[in-house]
C-alpha cells in the first residue's frame, strides 16, 4: 500500500469536516454563509496544517504567521479551522454559531476568540489590514533584526473574495503594498464568479490578475484544480517571492458538492436547507446524522498543529534568549511592542508654549509630536499626501520606502481609506500609529475608523483643518457634521483642543490609550495660547473643565471647544464688564465628559436650570444635551462658504457679539 493514499484520504476527511461543520452550523443557526467556507476549505486547511508557522496553544506568539479572513462572511471557515487546530474554540462554540455570547459571532470579531487576528465583515478591510500587518512585519524586522538574529520573519496570509476585490479600499491598499514591495504578504483570491445579486458578470469584468500585476504584485492563476499540493506549492512559491506581494487566484465553486446549490448565489448567505445538507453529505460520502460530526482521525490530524506550533515557538524563544543577551535594550523595546504597552510619557513632554501668543493647534501638534516621538520609539505615522498641511512628519526620522522600512514617516498617498486600515494593521502589531488628513476627509476613511473603535485599537487619527476656519477652500473642505458623527461612534474619543497646551495634553492622552482610538481635531488657523496654569493636567481625561470662572455663582455658562473657546473667553470678559457673572467651560473631549458622573457634570456646567450657551463651528447635533432646556447652541446649520476665515465666521454668526447677544437673550427670557 502506498503511503500517499491514506494521507490523501485523511486530507479529504479533514476538508470535508470543515465543509460539513460550516453547513451544519449555518443550518442550526438558520442564518449565515455556508457556500464560501465549503469552497475555501482546501485553501484554509492547507495554510493552517501545512504552510503557516503558528502556535494554537499561544495564539499571541509574536512571530506567528498572520491569517486574516478578509471575506468575514465566510466566518465558519475560520471557526472550523480554529476549533480543529486547537485554538481553544469548542465544538459547542461552533454549535452556538451566531448566538448571543458565543465567541463565534456572525462575522469574526477581534478579541472574541484566540486566533481571530482582525474583525472582518465590511469587505475590503481585512486585506487592507493585512497590508498594515505585512508592513509592520517589515518595519519590525528593519528595527530589530540584527546580523545572525532574525527575530522577526513571519508572513501575512489572507483570503479575499470578489467583494474584497471590488471595494476601493483594497485597490488603495494593494496599490501601496505593491509600491512598497511587501513580499511577505500573500493573498488568495476566491474567484467564484458569485456575489449576492448573482453572477459577478453583472458588474465585474476586469482581469483582476492583470490589475494586481500592474500594482507590482506577483500573480499565480491556479485555475480550477485546487489539489492541496498545488495550493501548497503556490503558497511556497509566493513565499519565495521576496520583493513583491503575491496574489493566488483560485477559481472556486461556491457550495461545492451541493447538488442543487453549487455555483448559485443562493448558497452565499442562506442555509442550504435540511434536504440539501443531507444530499451534499451523501455526495461527500458523509453520514447525514449526527450534525457536527467530527471524525476522530480528522481532529487528531489537525490538532498535530499544536505540537508543531509549540516546537516552532520554542525554537524562536531560544533565538530570543540569544538575541536578548546580545541586544538587551532592543529586546526591551520589542517586548513593549509585543505587549502593546502604553508608553510612559515623562511630565516634561508637555511642552510649554507662551501664553498670549497665537499658534494653530496643528502647529502645536507638530511640536508636541517631535517630543513624543523622542520618547515613544514605537510611534510611527503619516498622512494621505497632506503632511505639509497637517504637519505630522517626525523630523529626521526617515521615510518608509521600498526596501527601506526603518523610518517612521509613512506616505500613504491620496488613499485615506487604506490609510485607516493600514494604521489599524500597524496598531494590531503593537505600533503606536497615526494617520492624518483634513477632518473633512475623515468621511473617506470612516469604515476603518469605525473598525478601530470596534476592535478596541488605540489608533490615532490626526485631523486638521477642523472647521469653517479653513476659510477660502470653501464648503467642500469645511467639516460640519464630522465631529458629531465621530462622537456618535461608540468607543472613540474625539479631542478638539482649544490651544497649544490642550494639544500637548491631547497627544499625551492619545498615547496613553489602550483600547480606544483617538481622533484629534486641530485648527488650521492660529489660536490664542492659554495660560497653562488654568488647564488641569487631566483636562482631556475629564473631558471638560472650568477655564474661567465667575466671581460668584455663574449667571451664565459658555461652553466651547477648540477654536471657539477663545471666542467664549472674549464674550465672558465683555459680559463681566457689563456685570454679568459668566463662566467659561472648555470641553476638549465630549466623549470623556459624558463618561463622568452626574455630579461632575453639575460641578462644571452649573446646576440644572443654569442658562448655558454652547459654541462650536460645526453641526449643533448633540449639544442640547449639555446646554439643557434653558440653553442655546451657536453652531453651523448649513454647509460653509468660501472666503477669508474671519469673514466666514462673521457670515455664519459665530462671533463674540453673537455669544454676548445670545447670553443676554437667555438671561432676559
Q: Which is nearer to ligand TPP, 191 or 591 (CB)?
A: 191
Q: Which is nearer to ligand TPP, 93 or 167 (CB)?
A: 167
Stretch that binds Mg ion, among 47-55, 186-194, 428-436, 641-649 (CB under 5 A): 186-194
CB of 129 to ligand TPP, least distance (A): 14
Residue 322 binds: one of ligand TPP, Mg ion, none (C-beta under 5 to 8 A by kind): none
The torsion defined by the Cα of 655, 661, 667 and 669, in degrees rounded to 10, comes to -120
CB of 71 to ligand TPP, least distance (A): 5
Is position 315 annotated as part of the catalytic site?
Answer: no
Beta-strand pair 156-161/66-69: parallel
Stretch that binds Mg ion, among 194-202, 215-223, 321-329, 612-620 (CB under 5 A): 194-202
Q: Does 170 bind Mg ion (CB under 5 A)?
A: no
| Residue ranges in contact with ligand TPP by CB under 6 A | 36, 71, 73-74, 121-123, 161-163, 167, 192, 194-196, 254, 268
Distance CA(133)–CA(621), nearest Å, equals 37
Q: Which is nearer to ligand TPP, 127 or 393 (CB)?
A: 127
Distance CA(93)–CA(523), nearest Å, equals 49
Q: Does 192 bind Mg ion (CB under 5 A)?
A: yes
Residue 122 binds: one of ligand TPP, Mg ion, none (C-beta under 5 to 8 A by kind): ligand TPP
Which residues, listed in sequence order, are joined to residue 557 by a DSSP beta bridge? 583, 612
CB of 27 to ligand TPP, least distance (A): 17
CB of 161 to Mg ion, least distance (A): 5
Q: With contact defined as beta carbons under 8 Å apart, do 648 and 641 qualify?
A: yes
Residue 222 binds: one of ligand TPP, Mg ion, none (C-beta under 5 to 8 A by kind): none
CB of 356 to ligand TPP, least distance (A): 49
Residue 123 binds: one of ligand TPP, Mg ion, none (C-beta under 5 to 8 A by kind): ligand TPP
Q: Which three cell numbers stand for residue 1?
A: 500500500
> Residue 221: enclosing H or E segment and its boundaries?
strand 218-223
| DSSP per-residue string spanning 531-578 | PGGGS-TTHHHHS-EEEE--SSS-SEEEEE-TTHHHHHHHHHHHHHHT
CB of 204 to ligand TPP, least distance (A): 9
Residue 318: which residues within 8 A CB-CB, separation 6 or more?
A: none
Q: Does 263 bind Mg ion (CB under 5 A)?
A: no
Residue 268 binds: one of Mg ion, ligand TPP, none (C-beta under 5 to 8 A by kind): ligand TPP
Q: Does 249 bind Mg ion (CB under 5 A)?
A: no
Stretch that binds Mg ion, among 172-180, 192-200, 559-567, 650-658 (CB under 5 A): 192-200
Count other C-beta atoms under 10 Å from residue 307's C-beta: 13
Helix, strand and coil content of the chain, in percent to the nearest 5, comes to 50, 15, 40
Query: Which listed residue (162, 172, 499, 502) binds Mg ion by CB under 5 A?
Result: 162
Q: Which of 117, 276, 313, 416 is catalytic?
A: 416
Distance CA(503)–CA(563), nearest Å, equals 12
288-299 burial, b if ≥16 CB within 10 A, otherwise e? eeebebbeeebb
* Number of residues counted as binding Mg ion (CB under 5 A): 5
Q: Which is nearer to Mg ion, 194 or 448 (CB)?
A: 194
Q: With contact defined as beta carbons under 8 Å apart, do 89 and 108 qualify?
A: no
Q: Does 167 bind Mg ion (CB under 5 A)?
A: no
CB of 643 to ligand TPP, least distance (A): 37
Q: Does 194 bind Mg ion (CB under 5 A)?
A: yes
Q: Which is nearer to ligand TPP, 196 or 227 (CB)?
A: 196
Distance CA(541)–CA(443), nearest Å, equals 26
Residue 147: which residues within 8 A CB-CB, separation 6 or more?
A: none
CB of 46 to Mg ion, least distance (A): 20
| Stretch 273-332 residues interacting with Mg ion (CB under 5 A) | none
Beta-strand pair 493-495/218-223: unpaired
Q: Which is nearer to ligand TPP, 121 or 381 (CB)?
A: 121
Give how far the C-alpha of residue 655 lies from the chain's centroid of Cα atoms, to the nearest Å: 37
- Given strand 582-586, what is the order of strands in its sheet? 545-548, 582-586, 556-560, 612-615, 632-634
Q: Which is nearer to Mg ion, 209 or 295 (CB)?
A: 209
Distance CA(96)–CA(107), nearest Å, equals 13
Q: With contact defined as beta carbons under 8 Å apart, do 374 and 395 qualify?
A: no
Q: With contact defined as beta carbons under 8 Å apart, do 289 and 32 qualify?
A: no
| Residue number with the smallest Cβ distance to ligand TPP | 163
Which residues of the chain form contacts with Mg ion (CB under 5 A)?
161-162, 192, 194-195
Annotated active-site positions, please?
A: 416
Amino acid at each position: 500500500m502506498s503511503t500517499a493514499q491514506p494521507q490523501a484520504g485523511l486530507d479529504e476527511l479533514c476538508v470535508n469536516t470543515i465543509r460539513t461543520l460550516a453547513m451544519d452550523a449555518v443550518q442550526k443557526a438558520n442564518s449565515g454563509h455556508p457556500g464560501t467556507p465549503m469552497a475555501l476549505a482546501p485553501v484554509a486547511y492547507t495554510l493552517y496544517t501545512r504552510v503557516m508557522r503558528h502556535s494554537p496553544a499561544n495564539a499571541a506568539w509574536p512571530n506567528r504567521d498572520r491569517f486574516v479572513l478578509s471575506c468575514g462572511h465566510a466566518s465558519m471557515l475560520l471557526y472550523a479551522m480554529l476549533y480543529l487546530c486547537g485554538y481553544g474554540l469548542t465544538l459547542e462554540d461552533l454549535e452556538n454559531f451566531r448566538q448571543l455570547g458565543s465567541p463565534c459571532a456572525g462575522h469574526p470579531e477581534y478579541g472574541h476568540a484566540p486566533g481571530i487576528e482582525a474583525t472582518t465583515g465590511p469587505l475590503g478591510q481585512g486585506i487592507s489590514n493585512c497590508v498594515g500587518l505585512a508592513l509592520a512585519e517589515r518595519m519590525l524586522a528593519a528595527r530589530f533584526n540584527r546580523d545572525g538574529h532574525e527575530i522577526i520573519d513571519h508572513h501575512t496570509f489572507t483570503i479575499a473574495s470578489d467583494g474584497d476585490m471590488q471595494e476601493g479600499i483594497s485597490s488603495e491598499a494593494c496599490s501601496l503594498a505593491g509600491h512598497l514591495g511587501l513580499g511577505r504578504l500573500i493573498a488568495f483570491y476566491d474567484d467564484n464568479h458569485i456575489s449576492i445579486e448573482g453572477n459577478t458578470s453583472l458588474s465585474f469584468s476586469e482581469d483582476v490578475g492583470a490589475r494586481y500585476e500592474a500594482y507590482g504584485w506577483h500573480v499565480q492563476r491556479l485555475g480550477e484544480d485546487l489539489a492541496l499540493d498545488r495550493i501548497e506549492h503556490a503558497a511556497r512559491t509566493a513565499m519565495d517571492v521576496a520583493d513583491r506581494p503575491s496574489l493566488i487566484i483560485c477559481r472556486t465553486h461556491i457550495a461545492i458538492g451541493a447538488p442543487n446549490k453549487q455555483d448559485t448565489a443562493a448558497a452565499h448567505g442562506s442555509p442550504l436547507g435540511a434536504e440539501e445538507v443531507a444530499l451534499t453529505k451523501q455526495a461527500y460520502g458523509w453520514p447525514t446524522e449526527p450534525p457536527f460530526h467530527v471524525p476522530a482521525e480528522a481532529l487528531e490530524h489537525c490538532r498535530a498543529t499544536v505540537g508543531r506550533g509549540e516546537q516552532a515557538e520554542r525554537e524562536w524563544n531560544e533565538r530570543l534568549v540569544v538575541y536578548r543577551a546580545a541586544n538587551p535594550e532592543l529586546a526591551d523595546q520589542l517586548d513593549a511592542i509585543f505587549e502593546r504597552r502604553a508608553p510612559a510619557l515623562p511630565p516634561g513632554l508637555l511642552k510649554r508654549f507662551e501664553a498670549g501668543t497665537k499658534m494653530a493647534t496643528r502647529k502645536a501638534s507638530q511640536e508636541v509630536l517631535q517630543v513624543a516621538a523622542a520618547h515613544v520609539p514605537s510611534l510611527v505615522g503619516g498622512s494621505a499626501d497632506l503632511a505639509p498641511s497637517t504637519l505630522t512628519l517626525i523630523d529626521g526620522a526617515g521615510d518608509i520606502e521600498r526596501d527601506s522600512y526603518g523610518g517612521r514617516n509613512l506616505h500613504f498617498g491620496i488613499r485615506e481609506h487604506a490609510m485607516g486600515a493600514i494604521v489599524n494593521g500597524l496598531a494590531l502589531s503593537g505600533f503606536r500609529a497615526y494617520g492624518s488628513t483634513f477632518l473633512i476627509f475623515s468621511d473617506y476613511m470612516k469604515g476603518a475608523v469605525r473598525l478601530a473603535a470596534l476592535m478596541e485599537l488605540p489608533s490615532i487619527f490626526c485631523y486638521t483643518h477642523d472647521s469653517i476656519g479653513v476659510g477660502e477652500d470653501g464648503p467642500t473642505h469645511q467639516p460640519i457634521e464630522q465631529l458629531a458623527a465621530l462622537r456618535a461612534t461608540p468607543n472613540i474619543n474625539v479631542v478638539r483642543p482649544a490651544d497649544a497646551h490642550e494639544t500637548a495634553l491631547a497627544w499625551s492622552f492619545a498615547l496613553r490609550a489602550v483600547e480606544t482610538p483617538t481622533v484629534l481635531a486641530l485648527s488650521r488657523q492660529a489660536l490664542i495660547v492659554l495660560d497653562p496654569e488654568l488647564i488641569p493636567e487631566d483636562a482631556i481625561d475629564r473631558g471638560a473643565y472650568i477655564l474661567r470662572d465667575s466671581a460668584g455663582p455663574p449667571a451664565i455658562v459658555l461652553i466651547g471647544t477648540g477654536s471657539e473657546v477663545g471666542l467664549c473667553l472674549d464674550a465672558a470678559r465683555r459680559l463681566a464688564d457689563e456685570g454679568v457673572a459668566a463662566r467659561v467651560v472648555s470641553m476638549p473631549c465630549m466623549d470623556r465628559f459624558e463618561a463622568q458622573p452626574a455630579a461632575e457634570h453639575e460641578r462644571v456646567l452649573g446646576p440644572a436650570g443654569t442658562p448655558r450657551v454652547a459654541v462650536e463651528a460645526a453641526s449643533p447635533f448633540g449639544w442640547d444635551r449639555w446646554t439643557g432646556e434653558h440653553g442655546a447652541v451657536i453652531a453651523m446649520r448649513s454647509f460653509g462658504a468660501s472666503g477669508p476665515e474671519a469673514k466666514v465666521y462673521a457670515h455664519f454668526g459665530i462671533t463674540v457679539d453673537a455669544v454676548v447677544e445670545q447670553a443676554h437673550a437667555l438671561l432676559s427670557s
